[in-house]
Amino acid sequence: MPTFRAPRGTRDLLPDDRAVFDRLQRTAASLTARYGYRGIETPLFEQTSVFERGIGEVTDVVEKELFRLAPRSEEAEAWALRPEPTAGIVRAYVQHGMQTWPQPVKLTTTGPMFRYDRPQAGRYRQFWQFDVEAIGDPGPAIDAEIVELGHRFYTETGVKGVEVLVNSIGDPACRPAYMSTLVEYYRAHRDALPPTELDRLERNALRLLDSKDPAMAALNAAAPRITDHLCEACAAHFASVKAHLDALGVPYRVEPGLVRGLDYYTRTAFEYYVAGREGQQQALGGGGRYDGLVALLGGKPTPGIGFGLGLDRVALVLAEQADGEAPLADGPLAVVVGADPEDTASRLKIATDLRAAGLRARADLARRKLGRQLEAAGKDGAHFAVIVGDELAHGDVQLRDLLAGTQKVVPVDDLARDLARAEASHKHG
């Protein structure tokens, strides 16, 4: 057993994992650029009240899962690590007067989030989200645009069979009446409620609906549905979101039990699943509309909508769906090896020149026999070996194509050009 380990619920992303995350982040960056989102970075911690007010005090995320930082004696503010980025981004929107920018303000960020949750597969205490927020557009068209954007992320990263569950959870006009109906329903089943849920019943009955407690499953399945209690405006909004999704051809299913775990949501709510794997722990991502959040955090009332997609879960599903097939390692284009183990200077100089020319190259600096150097280059997944030998006296090296098994003499001066050409034709051919 090693003396030190990564904290419980966290993981080291080793180079193979990091390579997958790099690819996911590149796809996210490419997509958000196409859809007109601009990047934003907010601090990894905020005043605790940003989360308490924004996400809601009677939610799992705030009640149980918030990583609160021990207050420093001289500072009065209480801080917590961000469990999600939406509250911080909306705080920044208000703080920097983004209300005066052209609306909607479309923002995106990707980074680690922190929740002191009970760790298990796909549920970590530090995890990554790809997040987008469009603030200042009441929808409904943009709701569908965002749902489609999230769905496209899964398509472009290669996750198969992703389905969208959508729902409307009403607004301050219709939710209070629904809540009374819901409270009545649960009161009638008091005896069946686990203690935590009983405690929440009078404070925030909506949270019972998305309880992770298996004891709640049957009760929740039979609970009154918000979709049967929507006001006219919310019903029309929801109908239009669905019509837009139909027009875009996004595969979705209405799930009237979907209420999401955070309090700021109004109207549109959605989650992404691999079909057949619905359940609290398996959501690949989720989001929704939050028309009251900007005002809650001190801005003038402004609608907003966004999503957060869990990159750790996407990576897990990709690995499962690849079924043991190793991901392509991004090995070097060329490894510079040499007949004289001691002549590290020549090898290093050639590799340095190739890198200066923009190519992925490394030199074998281990002072071992040529055979061992070539073996290591093969294991590394290199496409070419540049073999430095006696020809160097005349300005030449041997260039071996490790994939094709061919070899030719090339002047050192032409090496970068030859390799660049080979790489381009390999990529496009």
Residues of this chain that interact with ligand HAM (CB under 6 A) are 84, 86, 115, 117, 122-124, 127, 129, 131, 133, 261, 283-288, 290, 306-308, 310, 312-313
* Cβ nearer to ligand HAM, comparing 162 with 377: 162
Residues whose CB falls within 8 Å of the CB of residue 37, separated by 6 or more in sequence, listed in order = 106, 107, 108, 132, 134
d(CA 20, CA 15) in angstroms, rounded, equals: 9
Helices 311-322 + 15-34 axis angle, to 10:
110
Its sign, for the CA torsion 230, 233, 239, 241, is: negative
d(CA 268, CA 289) in angstroms, rounded, equals: 5
Residue type, 399: L
* Cβ nearer to ligand HAM, comparing 287 with 332: 287
* Cβ nearer to ligand HAM, comparing 229 with 313: 313
Q: Least CB distance from residue 275 to ligand HAM, whole Å?
A: 16
| Longest distance between any two alpha carbons in the chain, whole Å | 92
Q: Least CB distance from residue 385 to ligand HAM, whole Å?
A: 42
* Cβ nearer to ligand HAM, comparing 285 with 338: 285
d(CA 308, CA 133) in angstroms, rounded, equals: 9
* Cβ nearer to ligand HAM, comparing 193 with 283: 283
Q: Least CB distance from residue 380 to ligand HAM, whole Å?
A: 32
Question: H or E segment at 397?
Answer: strand 396-401
* Cβ nearer to ligand HAM, comparing 64 with 426: 64
Residues whose CB falls within 8 Å of the CB of residue 88, separated by 6 or more in sequence, listed in order = 42, 43, 46, 50, 82
Q: Least CB distance from residue 66 to ligand HAM, whole Å?
A: 12
Q: What is the CA radius of gyration of the chain?
A: 27
DSSP codes joined into one string, 65-90: S--EEPPPTT----EEE-S-SHHHHH
* Cβ nearer to ligand HAM, comparing 86 with 167: 86
Q: Least CB distance from residue 115 to ligand HAM, whole Å?
A: 5
Tally of CB atoms within 10 A around 305: 29
**How long a stretch of residues is the chain?**
429
* Cβ nearer to ligand HAM, comparing 90 with 415: 90
CA distances from 248 to 148, 251, 324 (A): 8, 9, 34
d(CA 362, CA 262) in angstroms, rounded, equals: 49
CA distances from 323 to 11, 54, 122, 312 (A): 22, 40, 17, 17
Q: Least CB distance from residue 19 to ligand HAM, whole Å?
A: 19
Helices of type H across 79-227: 86-95, 141-157, 175-188, 195-201, 206-209, 217-221
Q: Least CB distance from residue 335 to ligand HAM, whole Å?
A: 38
Q: Least CB distance from residue 259 to ligand HAM, whole Å?
A: 11
Q: Ramachandran region of residue 309, left (φ > 0), alpha (ψ -120 to 50) or beta? A: beta
